[in-house]
Chains A and B, each alone.
Chain A
Amino acid sequence: MSKEPAIELRGISKAFGPVQANKDISISVMPGTIHGIIGENGAGKSTLMSILYGFYKADAGEIFIAGKKTEIPDSQAAIGAGIGMVFQHFKLVQNFTVLENIILGAEDGALLRPSLAKARETLTDLAREYELNVDPDALIEEVGVGMQQRVEILKALYRQADILILDEPTGVLTPAEADQLFRILDRLRNEGKTIILITHKLREIMDITDTVSVMRRGEMTATVKTSETNPEELAELMVGRKVLLRVDKLPAQPGDKVLQVEDLRFIDSAGVERLKGINLDVRAGEILGIAGVAGNGQSELLEILGGYATATGRIRMNGRDLDLTGTESDGQSRRAAGIAHVPEDRQSEGLIMNFSAWENTVFGYHLDPAWQRGLFMDNAAIKAEAAEKMQRFDVRPANPKLAAKNFSGGNQQKIVLAREIERNPELLLVGQPTRGVDIGAIEFIHKQIVALRDAGKAILLVSVELEEILSLADRVVVMFDGQIMGERLAAETNEKELGLMMAGVSGDAA
């Protein structure tokens, strides 16, 4: 093995307008190792790797590949230098086959037939060598995310990449799929490939990397050997202060059933049955977590409970039936029934991004008589209240006039939470409360949710982050393919058991 680093970045800087995404970053990675880059959202990890892959152009700095200074003005140059990248959002053509996606941009000649034939052969070899099993003739839109990711890795290997960059690769995978991915990465490392793994999950860093760099606010704060560090230290380096990784909470004291769902069924516009008879209930003073890989009906469940999709079945709130199809099945009626909703996608459902923070703090409750003055809205009162809410929820910057889009993900989420929690609802629906939120804000958001529970309210939590479900929820149900696979007490289960249920194994067997 050569002593030359496979990749060396020196003094990389990149600014997007006034935002300095990368500040004078230097890093070097030895061949045949896995190097982790960890940092909060917006710390500049993806920007740095996009520069290495020629997707963005650095303002300053130099790149050395295998000891040779290399200019990477575009992705073509990066591919030429032996770099392959698996983006967080896959760059695949949905209605192409696996094979077509793999050869796109790396065809052997002007005609497709010989290229496809050659790729099919190479693919078979690669699949055998690295356990990267794919069906070459399947359409991308018809295969699961796990296979899509393998296609992305194969794309890089087909182009003979020696350096593989993976950006948040496990975000969409079940625990079992993630384990499989890590086995593949391990194998690639043994074959002498160099791998850069970008993630915000400390556990993954500890599990698989050889060395790790921590980024904070565009700067590289530390590079250490993984064997010589621990999660607490890394978290502190990421956030810049001590953080509590566990949620600190007392055992739940469940009261009466607040929400009762019976045989809830939902068929989407394409005629697919998304919910196949859901039964669950949430009691006062407890957090019910719904675990599951994204797309197994959790979103539809939230939409129906929140009042913006119709369904069949029965939903009772404090014993009273809710209207599921008629005129009372809208968000307004649900709020009147005491249900508050922090939607999964805060940018499209929770906020109006171009409106200011103070306007966003009353949406959905804007018809409340407290905000009216004759024919007009009492904007002065709303603004004053907004400023207070933002103070209480530690929204930074605490400026109610700023448009929602100008806040970071965590602070946007705090605005939504402030609006919903401050109404003191009987039931709070929370979807992906910490998606795209940095560690510091996660801690705060979790505390607020636990505080609401301790005030005797019912909380329904949907999250694809198993760690979050396990640490925040009191009781967990797992959804798979529109059904509930099983129920467990959070204190009496573990990731492995839930992971099996998430993959479709019934709770009785798991």
Chain B
Amino acid sequence: MDAVQLIQVADSTLRLSTPLLLACLAGLFSERAGIFDIGLEGKMLAAAFFSAGIAALTGSVWVGLLAGIGASLVLSAVHGLASITFRGNQLISGVAINFLAAGLTVLIAQDWFKQGGRTPSLEGSERFGEIDLPFAEALSGVPFVGPIYSEILSGHTLLVYVGLAMVPLTWWVLFRTRFGLRLRAVGEAPEAVDTAGVSVVGLRFAAVAICGVLCGLAGAYLATGQQAGFVKDMTAGRGFIALAALIFAKWRPWYALGACLLFGLLQAVAIQFQNIDVGGFIIPVQFMDALPYILTVVILAGFVGKAIPPRAGGAPYVKER
């Protein structure tokens, strides 16, 4: 592997990690508040379609982004209604959202664009452009630091930087603000929050809404930043990988960044090196493609340390009796 390849892999790691990171942080807010959300996938998918579809129709990626976030929020509201207000099963609600999004996006895409369930290819202002960070050009000559800054960090779309900025922001909100304290408390011991005179329902809806916004960003990034348009099932399990990353990260923001970068790296490696030759034995490309998913299974099977989920996670809050 030479330096150029290394830089390429690092660059696409960042690119590929972003949707995972945004979805992972979305799940972090929701699960820290005690609402398990396996509907991250569905919300991302809906956001991907609506952001691309509306961007194609209006010609503005910003309107598209809002539409994507809106679609994701609607699904979040459904999840909140089912699991908080009506105290339904959070897994079933999440599964339903995933099915709904998978079917509905293709159906509407076909109805709107008649292109076999995809949106037209987005161009120009219909998608997020790449941003060159300040001094990227000037620094590119500096050895070592230069390439890292100008080749790897610079030249991504806005949402990549939003995703990275969300990590410290999430940490700060969770551990340095009143809202964060209450949010973490409601995922651990909702009865403590209730008896302290704070609304459990209100807090959980707030968390689910934040989850919706972040999933919206993740989906919009997929369709209008990383790719140029929506295709059927384009999330390809990223919502579930984000969930695995969340467990791997033990529900902590900085660990989440690490976990998502790891998954992103695996995907980047799979793309960069289609057939790896290990001492005469060729590792087939299919195996490399499958690696992130295999790792997901391994992590979910609990081989990576002991992860303790929020204690009240998955259970609707009912006062005794």
Contact = CB atoms under 8 A, between A and B. Distances in A.
Interface of A: 16, 53, 55-56, 74-80, 85, 87, 91-96, 100-101, 103-107, 109-113, 115, 155
Given A92-B189, A94-B189, A95-B188, A112 B196 contact: no
B5 to A, nearest CB: 44
A105 B197 CA distance: 6
Given A91-B191, A93-B192, A94-B311, A115 B197 contact: no
Contacts, number: 76
Contacts of B193: 104-105
Interface residues of B, number: 23
A327 B131 CA distance: 68
25 contacts: A53-B195, A55-B194, A74-B197, A76-B197, A79-B196, A91-B191, A91-B192, A92-B192, A93-B192, A96-B181, A96-B184, A104-B181, A104-B182, A104-B185, A104-B192, A105-B196, A105-B197, A106-B196, A107-B181, A110-B178, A111-B176, A111-B178, A112-B176, A112-B177, A115-B178
B198 interface: yes
Nearest to A17: B321
Contacts of B182: 104-105
A53 B182 CA distance: 20
A45 to B, nearest CB: 14
B179 interface: yes
A16 B319 CA distance: 13
Nearest to B191: A91
Interface string B112-143: 00000000000000000000000000000000
A75 B195 CA distance: 6
Nearest to B188: A93
Contacts of B176: 111-113
B178 A109 contact: yes
A111 B175 CA distance: 10
A93 B185 contact: yes
Nearest to B310: A95
The 8 closest A-B pairs by CB, nearest first: A105-B196, A76-B197, A91-B192, A107-B178, A75-B197, A91-B195, A93-B189, A105-B198
B196 A96 contact: no
B319 A112 contact: no
A85 B192 CA distance: 12
A87 B197 CA distance: 14
Nearest to A113: B176
A75 B196 contact: yes
Interface string B168-210: 0000000111111110110011011111111000000000000
A155 B175 CA distance: 21
Contact of A101 (B177, B192, B311, B321): B192
A82 to B, nearest CB: 13
Given A111-B176, A112-B176, A113-B176, A100 B181 contact: yes
Given A104-B182, A111-B176, 15 more contacts: A55-B195, A55-B319, A75-B195, A78-B197, A85-B195, A91-B194, A92-B192, A93-B184, A93-B189, A94-B311, A104-B185, A104-B192, A105-B182, A106-B196, A110-B177
B202 to A, nearest CB: 12
Contacts of A91: 189, 191-192, 194-196
Nearest to B306: A270
B319 A56 contact: yes
Contacts of A85: 195
Contacts of B189: 91-94
Contacts of A104: 181-182, 185, 192-193, 196, 198
A106 B185 CA distance: 13
A135 B197 CA distance: 24
Interface of B: 175-182, 184-185, 188-189, 191-198, 311, 319, 321
B178 A94 contact: no
A75 B194 contact: yes
A223 B181 CA distance: 43
A98 to B, nearest CB: 13
Contacts of A109: 178
A105 B198 CA distance: 6
A174 to B, nearest CB: 25
A205 B180 CA distance: 42
Contacts of B192: 91-93, 101, 104
B291 to A, nearest CB: 32
A440 B197 CA distance: 38
A113 B175 CA distance: 10
A93 B189 CA distance: 5
Contacts of B197: 74-80, 105
A55 B197 CA distance: 10
Nearest to A108: B178
B251 to A, nearest CB: 11
A92 B311 CA distance: 12
A103 B197 CA distance: 12
Contacts of A100: 181
B200 to A, nearest CB: 11
Contact of B188 (A80, A96, A110): A96
Nearest to A56: B319
A16 B321 contact: yes
A105 B179 CA distance: 10
B178 A112 contact: yes
A105 B182 CA distance: 7
B271 to A, nearest CB: 40
Contact of A111 (B177, B194, B319): B177
Contacts of B319: 55-56
Contacts of A93: 184-185, 188-189, 192
Contacts of B188: 93-96
A96 B311 CA distance: 12
A79 B195 CA distance: 9
A448 B181 CA distance: 51
A105 B193 CA distance: 7
A400 to B, nearest CB: 26
Nearest to A77: B197
Contacts of B178: 107, 109-112, 115
A80 B194 CA distance: 14
A495 to B, nearest CB: 31
A115 B194 CA distance: 20
Contacts of B198: 76, 104-105
A161 to B, nearest CB: 12
Contacts of B191: 91
